Homo-oligomer: A and B are copies of this chain.
Amino acid sequence: MKYDTHLELTEERLTHVSQIFKALGDPTRIRILHLLLDKEYSVNEIAEKLELHQSTVSHQLSSMKKIRLVKSRREGTTIYYSHDDKHVIDLLTEAINHACHN
């Protein structure tokens, strides 16, 4: 899909775009989103797989949920997280692909 090249960068769009990039600008959040590419995981599963503290994972998931990068569903006491913004996932995979072809 081809886009226009001269999109007006309003204050609102600027805020939104920078907010998303800022969220992607942290290694921990990238690792979490990358893990969530294929399927959902619980907080503890994420912490174990990525060798992070539970509170760290919870904090980051919370910040990503706030801007709708991830969503959650409860199953008993367990809460499963998955990504919630296909555009952002596209940005991430493209960036990783670029990094892989350097």
Interface of A toward B, CB cutoff 8 Å: 3-7, 9, 13-27, 30-31, 34, 37-38, 87, 90-100, 102
Contact = CB atoms under 8 A, between A and B. Distances in A.
A58 to B, nearest CB: 20
Query: How would you classify the secondary structure of chain A's contact residues: helix, strand, loop or mixed?
Result: helix
Top 9 nearest A-B pairs by Cβ distance? A22-B25, A21-B24, A21-B25, A25-B25, A13-B99, A87-B98, A3-B97, A18-B27, A16-B99
A24 B97 CA distance: 17
Contact of A38 (B4, B5, B14, B99): B5
B100 A13 contact: yes
A93 B7 contact: yes
